[in-house]
Structure 1
Amino acid sequence: MQIKDKRVIVTGAASDLGLTFSRELLRNGALIIVLIDSRQSPGEQVVENLNNEFGRKRAVFLHCDVTNNSEFDVIFKEAINILGGLDILINNTNVINEIDFSRAVDVNVTAVIRGTLLGIQQMRKDSGGKGGVIVNISSIAGLQAVSQLPVYSATKHAIVSFSRSFAQPYHYDRTNVKVIVLCPGLTGTPILEDLPQDISSTDILQKYRPQRVESVAHGLIYVIRCAQNGSVWINENGQPVYEVQLPDTLPQKKTESDVKEN
């Protein structure tokens, strides 16, 4: 999809990554962006900066706790009214919290699922929409086991599976809404809330060296323009994004000889 003159919603938009996503989308011609986040002061500052850079009313901030389902529904509808429709949705809500796992699930999984469903509801062609693109931001932790962050890894695996399932022809043939997954490596300054006592934020940052947010934003633009529905993309170490192929069938069953060899 071309980005010029498109209407966009970005959730988790007050983060370094959300701001850079929004800036790069506007730089590439997006008509207007609604930025949704629970952090009001940073969010308002982000919008002020974007409007100073790209012109008045190109960016609008809406305060919302996306883990509050009813509030998210109301704010999403308000965003649609402001935009006059929706073409692109970036679900970027994210937190690392290994102690309060329900908090991690609410932010990283439930909010992304709900955002996806709300976006599809607005864009689906079988309800009068024109289709569109949804990019769900997962992580390379959603494609591998991460011993230091098992809860975070589980939530990011969930987003990969959910997104690929919703991209199947059963849904896409009716909605004409692409659902794509972008899996960055550790980027910028991650939102680290609660970690086990034997793991510090310093440990995480040393083991997974962050890349620049601009690298991931450039990858996002490429994915929106070029990626196929249901595809999964990795952006790590500041390198260009690349697509990975995940199996659509069950893993091959181990034979008796395989078991004996192990």
Structure 2
Amino acid sequence: AIAQLQSINHSTQIFFWTFDVTMAREEMNKYFDEVMVHMDYIDVLINGATLCDERNIDATINTNLTGMMNTVATVLPYMDRKMGGSGGLIVNVTSVIGLDPSPVFCAYSASKFGVIGFTRSLADPLYYTQNGVAVMAVCCGPTKVFVDRELKAFLEYGQTFADRLRRAPCQSTAVCGQNIVNAIERSENGQIWIADKGGLELVSLHWYWHMTDQFISYMQSNDDED
């Protein structure tokens, strides 16, 4: 795979390291210190690790959510313009059941909802206007590498559905991967995209409770009372 990538542009250096997203933050710091010996800066961080194991909730949450957040927190200082970085883009690969709930894969769905919440929070202008790091997410629909695995439902009532999902039509990893690239090329800070059934769709986001607006309203009400 490295040789194939290298053939696209022979003047570009390509490195490969194994990385465990569930490692402790201290280990992550050491890991990226070593990585940066070979890199001048980081342009793009893509968080793509995922696990759907409804019988191991801790591992599912640690891989999909906690590990992703720790990775972002570790890499951000290398990208932050105010800390000597060049800005850049963070892409969080998540799932369509991070937008709408799944009665079958409850733990997995909850972890992917968390990815969406983290993405939207980190993309707030409060951060972006200062660090120059855009954040976006791509929600993938059923994809072959995922449904080819043995899938266990959170509760036995949903196992029949989980078994049927393995036989349902799904997109290939190549098509999904290309649409992730397409989303990156078209995306703006804070956007959420759906890559499903070979297509790409921008999610229309709705605010039910916007913290900045609520804070401004709170401050104005205090001023009126004074």
**Which bracket does the TM-score occupy, shorter chain normalised?**
0.7 to 0.9
Q: Distance in 2 between matches of 1:138 and 1:232?
A: 10
8 Å CA contact 2:145, 2:173 repeated in 1: no
Alignment of 1:122-133 (within 5 A): 122-133=78-89
Pairwise CA distance, 1:51: 3.9
Q: Deviations over 1:130-165 (max 9, x none)?
A: 110010001101011111100000000000000000
Structure 2: 5+ residue stretches without partners:
211-226
Q: Which amino acid aligns with 2:34?
A: E
Secondary structure of 1:135 counterpart: strand
In the other structure, the counterpart of 1:59 is 14
1:246 equivalent to 2:202? Answer no
Q: Which residue of 2 aligns with 1:118?
A: 74
Unmatched 5+ residue regions in structure 1?
A: 1-45, 252-262
Partner Cα distance (2:129, 2:91) in 1: 18
Shift of 1:217: 2.0
Q: Aligned with 2:16: secondary structure?
A: strand
Query: What's the counterpart of residue 95 of structure 1?
Result: 51
How far apart are the structure 2 equivalents of 1:67 and 1:86?
21
TM-score if structure 2 supplies the norm length?
A: 0.81
Percent identity of equivalent pairs: 25
> Is this contact kept in 2: 1:100–1:194, CA < 8 A?
no
Map of 1:1-262 to 2, 5 A cutoff? 46-51=1-6, 55=10, 58-69=13-24, 70-190=26-146, 192=149, 195-196=152-153, 198=156, 199=159, 202-207=163-168, 209-239=169-199, 241-250=200-209
CA distance in 1, matches of 2:174, 2:140: 12
In 2, the alpha carbon distance for the partners of 1:97 and 1:75 equals 27
Cα displacement (A) at 1:121: 1.2
Q: Which amino acid aligns with 1:97?
A: D
Secondary structure, counterpart of 1:178 in structure 2: strand
Please report how far the alpha carbon of residue 210 of structure 1 lies from its aligned counterpart in structure 2 after TM superposition: 2.3
Task: For residue 206 of structure 2, give the secondary structure of its aligned residue in structure 1.
Answer: coil
- More deviation in 158-167 or 111-120? 111-120
Deviation at 1:49, TM superposition (A): 4.7
Give me the TM-score of the superposition, normalised by structure 1. 0.70
**What letter corresponds to residue 118 of structure 1 in structure 2?**
T
Deviations 1:12-53 (A, max 9, x none): xxxxxxxxxxxxxxxxxxxxxxxxxxxxxxxxxx43553466
- When the two structures are aligned, how many residues end up with a matched partner? 204
One-letter code aligned to 1:139: S
DSSP 3-state at the match of 2:144:
coil
d(CA) in 2 for partners of 1:194, 1:187 = 13
2: CA distance between counterparts of 1:105 and 1:193?
A: 18
Larger Rg: 2
The alpha-carbon deviation at position 246 of structure 1 amounts to 1.8
Alpha carbons of structure 1 residues 146 and 72: separation in structure 2 relative to 1, 3 Å = same
Choose 56-65 or 93-102, whichever is displaced more: 56-65
Runs of 4+ in 1 over 6 A off after TM superposition: none
TM-superposed deviation, 1:92 = 0.4
Letter in 2 for 1:203: R
